[in-house]
């Protein structure tokens, strides 16, 4: 198993697992949309997450909640350039990821200080993304989704969800290797084109992705697979999120993408002490 990712020539170990803090500079994200739009709020939030132990800050300028609509390309570029510049300027040693499916945004983000590209489409929404990653030579998060956010929940009719996900990952990894992309992180895409039952089935069977010998990122923070099951709201889904993050760590997750960094860091520490990762290499 790949035990580290290359960040500007420095290896970032994945054992113990890392925590990626979510920083949405959006108006309409499902949980925290609109909270971090000013310069002061962006810098404050990034600082809070780093102080709580975040290893990576993941900046997104477009909501990918179910039913979300696309943001105009130039507006996404402008938001990302500004937010990445703010965080890089204030926290020069931080590791910054950018959540985008657009190659043009990736091209704009990396020169501003982004270290990782986190693509919810796994290279399927923009045909230029994979060749662009070959040129940028930064780690790439390859996520599974069957369709764009505006209608992804209408595409949950799988014959064999695990087999189809493995086929998808295999095809996209081959394309990435052909483009000379070497640092690849898999994301099962919990909540993206999957029913509540399918999400838990994929979580239970995350071992299936070991065949690729690549790290796995899990992003389930406050999502509907938690709050709908518990018959609550995203605001009241922190305890459920911690439980599911712990299950993901026990299933071999190498990165947790979360809104609540402190609680995720504590879950990682406890799981590492318990030996959760020892049999997951």
Tens of pLDDT, residues 118-158: 999 999 999 999 999 999 999 999 999 987 776 777 778 99
Is residue 90 in some structural domain? yes
Q: Which domain holds residue 262?
A: 15-274
pLDDT at 281: 42
* Tokens 């993050």 -> residue: 245
pLDDT in tens, 164-197: 999 999 999 999 999 999 999 999 999 999 999 9
CATH of the domain at 76: 3.20.20.20
Asked if residue 68 is part of any domain, the answer here is yes
In a domain, 281, yes or no: no
In a domain, 162, yes or no: yes
Q: Is residue 196 part of a domain?
A: yes
Structure-token match 């060749």, residue found = 131
On whether residue 29 sits in a domain, the answer given is yes
Q: Angle, to 10 degrees, between the axis of helix 103-112 and the axis of helix 73-90?
A: 20
> What tens digit of pLDDT does each residue of 224-272 get?
999 999 999 999 999 999 999 999 999 999 999 999 999 999 999 999 9
- Could you confirm whether 223 is annotated as catalytic? yes
Whether 201 is covered by a domain: the verdict is yes
Name the domain count of the chain: 1
Looking at per-residue confidence, does 53 or 67 come out higher? 53
- The pTM of this model reads 0.93
- Token pair, residue 105, equals 């945004």
Catalytic residue selected from 90, 223, 251, 269: 223
Please state whether the peptide bond connecting residue 16 to the residue before it is cis, i.e. omega within 30 degrees of 0.
yes
The SS3 assignment for 233 reads coil
Condensed to tens digits (0 to 9), the pLDDT of residues 33-63 reads 456 678 898 999 999 999 999 999 999 988 7
Is residue 6 in some structural domain? no
Catalytic residue among 45, 88, 222, 257: 257
**With pLDDT > 70 as the criterion, what percentage of the chain qualifies?**
91
- Kindly provide the b/e burial profile for residues 114-145, where b requires at least 16 CB atoms within 10 angstroms of the residue's own CB: bbbbbbbbbbbbbeebbbbbbebebbbbbbbb
Active site residue 81: no
What percent of the chain shows pLDDT beyond 90? 81
Phi-psi region of 217 (alpha: psi -120 to 50; beta: other; left: phi over 0): beta
């Amino acid at each position: 198993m790949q035990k580290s990712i290359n960040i500007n020539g420095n290896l970032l170990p994945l054992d113990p697992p890392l925590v990626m803090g979510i920083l949405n500079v959006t108006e309409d994200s499902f949980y925290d949309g609109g909270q971090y739009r000013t310069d002061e709020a962006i810098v404050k939030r990034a600082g809070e997450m780093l102080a709580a132990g975040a290893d990576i800050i993941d900046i997104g300028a477009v909501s990918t909640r179910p039913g979300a609509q696309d943001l105009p390309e130039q507006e996404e570029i402008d938001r990302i350039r500004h937010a990445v510049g703010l965080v890089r300027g204030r926290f020069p040693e931080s590791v910054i990821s950018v959540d985008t499916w657009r190659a043009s945004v990736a091209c704009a983000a990396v020169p501003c200080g982004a270290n990782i590209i986190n693509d919810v489409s796994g290279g399927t929404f923009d045909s230029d993304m994979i060749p662009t990653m070959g040129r940028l030579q930064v780690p790439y998060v390859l996520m599974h989704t069957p369709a764009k956010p505006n209608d992804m929940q209408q595409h949950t009719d799988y014959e064999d969800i695990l087999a189809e996900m493995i086929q998808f990952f295999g095809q996209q990894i081959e394309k990435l290797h052909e483009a000379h992309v070497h640092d690849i992180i898999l994301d099962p895409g919990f909540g993206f084109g999957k029913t509540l039952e399918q999400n838990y089935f994929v979580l239970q069977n995350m071992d299936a992705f070991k065949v690729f010998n690549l790290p796995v990122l899990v992003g389930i923070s406050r999502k509907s697979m938690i709050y709908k099951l518990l018959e609550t709201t995203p605001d009241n889904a922190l305890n459920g999120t911690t439980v599911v993050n712990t299950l993901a760590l026990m299933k071999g997750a190498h990165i947790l993408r979360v809104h609540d960094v402190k609680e995720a860091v504590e879950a990682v520490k406890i799981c590492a002490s318990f030996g959760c990762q020892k049999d997951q290499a």
